[in-house]
């Protein structure tokens, strides 16, 4: 049936205007009425100029709490703003990394950033899998672009930059920028840019490439693809140049005009990021990075498109298979927990028995000691009693002797008196 239908397809000329050529306009109107979301992640060490660059790019001051250099770990701070340019509404989310590069050990610094990106993908996937989903009106939380700020001090990338960028490349559209590019000379900047690109190339770090398929933007995009990394200068201050006021930074030796292409690449970055390629960044996020996340996540959950015999897998079968697998896992866990519990009880029982035995032995020992002490005390008591009896006997004998002696003494004077009388 499909073959006959294809064979039957014919091109027809219309005899007059019917109106479906307005479909693109209908689409545009619908999208404009709904508004757009764009989420930027700024990764870079504290004080490299992330907040200032965001304010410079969008021409307004975004209030952002100044990060300290004493954060214990990297934290991500997110702020959302509603912006409007003509009739187009943009919900802009800027995510900053606070404390990046400030710890003594930076080994794990990339983790909170990856976790944040994954968490946004997860939110989107949850919405997609809901029974009652509303993706059209859903505020897309996924990160569409990551501006990675490289320090202008030094000759190339630091190990932290390379590791973080390598981890981020498959998760997000990565655009490297050199922050505070006004603090180094033109020549040093040229060398720094060359060294950075060579290093990214030799470590195989994939950075975002502006698309060149669409012929309207192919020329500008392919020329800018050779300008990475963008050397940017940020400022929200107005400086007077001749009789014009421009955004810039005033120094004792002159002024850096942030929107002057001879001074820095801010205008190029703004053009590429906002005017020419914003939609491509959003699309790449969806079709490349989110798709990869979704595929891995669904595979992890047991979903497959085909079974080992290349037969397409039905959702029902996948669900049943996953359910059975989970039940098996649960039973296995239950069994091992039960076994663990039994072992624990046995261990505790053995410990208690051991303790009881120890206590019994201790009790017996104390009893023996007590008995021996009692025996020796009784022995002593007996000895004492005997001593007391002997003493009493001696006392009685002494008393008797003393009585007799006294009696003897009292009779002698009488006898003397008698003798005298005679
Ligand atoms: P963050 O911590 O990365 O957000 O950095 P901030 O944007 O708060 O900037 C820190 C300091 O650097 C502020 O005093 C800014 O005025 C200054 N700053 C920002 N951008 C530039 C720049 O492009 N060049 C120079 N020389 N200083 C800058």
Distance between Cα 49 and ligand 1 center (Å): 3
How do residues 140-178 score in pLDDT, each as one tens digit? 999 999 999 999 998 889 999 999 999 999 999 999 999
State CA 400 to chain mean position distance.
106
Low-confidence winner among 12-26, 63-77, 115-129, 381-395 (lowest mean pLDDT):
63-77
Protein residue with its CA nearest to atom 27 in ligand 1: 180
Higher pLDDT, 280 or 310: 280
Kindly give, in sequence order, each residue whose CB lies less than 8 Å from that of residue 293, ignoring residues fewer than 6 positions away: 118, 121, 125, 171
More reliable by pLDDT, 125 or 303:
125
Region of residue 399 (phi > 0: left; psi between -120 and 50: alpha; otherwise: beta): alpha
Is the CB of 48 within 6 Å of ligand 1? yes
pLDDT tens-digit profile of 249-296?
999 888 999 998 889 999 999 999 999 999 999 999 999 999 999 999
Q: Is the CB of residue 297 less than 8 Å from the CB of residue 125?
A: yes
Distance 58 CA to ligand 1 centre (A): 16
Is the shortest distance between the CB of 152 and ligand 1 below 6 Å?
no
Cβ of 157 below 6 Å from ligand 1 = no
Question: What are the distances in angstroms from CA 1 to CA 5, 8, 311?
Answer: 6, 11, 22
Does residue 233 have its Cβ closer than 6 Å to ligand 1?
yes
Three-state DSSP class for 22?
helix
For the Cβ of 67 lying below 6 angstroms from any atom of ligand 1, the answer is: yes
**What contacts 44, CB < 8 A, 6 or more positions away?**
50, 97, 100, 101, 147, 148, 149, 150, 151, 179
Whole-model pTM? 0.74
Distance 180 CA to ligand 1 centre (A): 7
For residue 46, the CA-to-ligand 1 centroid distance in Å is 9
Ligand 1 within 6 A of CB of 258: no
Q: Which helix (H) or strand (E) holds 221?
A: helix 215-224
Distance 52 CA to ligand 1 centre (A): 6
Question: Does residue 51 line the site of ligand 1, with CB under 6 A?
Answer: yes
Beta strands in 74-165 (DSSP E): 75-85, 88-98, 145-150
Calculate how far, in angstroms, residue 151's C-alpha sits from the geometric centre of ligand 1. 12
| 151 within ligand 1 shell (Cβ under 6 A) | no
For position 287, what pLDDT does the model report?
94
Contact 120 CB / ligand 1 (< 6 Å): no
Chain segment 332-352, per-residue pLDDT in tens? 999 999 999 999 999 999 999
Nearest CA to ligand 1 atom 25: 180
CA of 45, closest atom in ligand 1: 3
Cβ(46) – ligand 1 distance below 6 Å: yes
The confidence score (pLDDT) of residue 29 equals: 92
């Amino acid at each position: 049936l499909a073959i006959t239908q294809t064979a039957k397809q014919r091109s027809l000329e219309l005899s007059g205007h019917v109106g479906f050529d307005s479909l693109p306009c209908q689409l545009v109107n619908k999208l404009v009425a709904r508004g757009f979301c764009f989420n930027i992640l700024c990764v870079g060490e504290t004080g490299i100029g992330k907040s200032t660059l965001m304010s410079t790019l969008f021409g307004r001051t975004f209030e952002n709490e100044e990060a300290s250099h004493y954060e214990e770990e990297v934290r991500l701070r997110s702020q959302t703003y509603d912006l409007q340019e003509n009739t187009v509404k943009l919900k802009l989310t800027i995510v900053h990394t606070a404390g990046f590069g400030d710890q003594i050990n930076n080994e794990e610094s990339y983790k909170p950033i990856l976790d944040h990106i994954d968490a946004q993908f997860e939110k989107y996937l949850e919405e997609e899998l809901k029974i009652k989903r509303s993706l059209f009106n859903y505020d897309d939380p996924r990160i569409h672009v990551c501006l990675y700020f490289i320090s202008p001090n030094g000759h190339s990338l630091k190990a932290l930059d390379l590791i973080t960028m390598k981890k981020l490349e498959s998760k997000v559209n990565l655009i490297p920028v050199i922050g505070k590019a006004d603090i180094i000379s033109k020549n040093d900047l040229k060398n720094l840019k060359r060294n950075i690109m060579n290093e990214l190339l030799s470590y195989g770090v994939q950075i975002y490439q502006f698309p060149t398929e669409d012929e309207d933007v192919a020329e500008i995009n392919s020329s800018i693809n050779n300008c990475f990394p963008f050397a940017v200068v940020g400022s929200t201050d107005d400086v007077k140049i001749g009789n014009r006021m421009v955004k810039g930074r005033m120094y004792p030796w002159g002024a850096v005009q942030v929107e002057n292409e001879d001074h820095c690449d801010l205008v190029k970055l703004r053009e590429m990021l906002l005017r020419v390629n914003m939609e491509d960044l959003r699309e790449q996020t969806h079709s490349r990075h989110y798709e990869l996340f979704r595929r891995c996540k669904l595979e992890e959950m047991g979903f497959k498109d085909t079974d080992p015999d290349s037969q397409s897998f039905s959702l029902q079968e996948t669900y049943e298979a996953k359910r059975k697998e989970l039940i098996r896992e649960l039973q296995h866990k239950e069994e091992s927990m039960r076994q663990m519990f039994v072992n624990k009880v046995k261990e505790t029982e053995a410990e208690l028995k051991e303790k009881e035995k120890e206590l019994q032995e201790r009790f017996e020992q104390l009893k023996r000691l007590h008995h021996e002490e009692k025996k020796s005390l009784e022995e002593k008591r007996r000895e004492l009693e005997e001593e007391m009896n002997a003493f009493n006997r001696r006392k009685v004998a002494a008393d008797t002797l003393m009585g007799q002696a006294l009696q003897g003494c009292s009779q002698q004077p009488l006898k003397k008196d008698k003798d005298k009388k005679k």
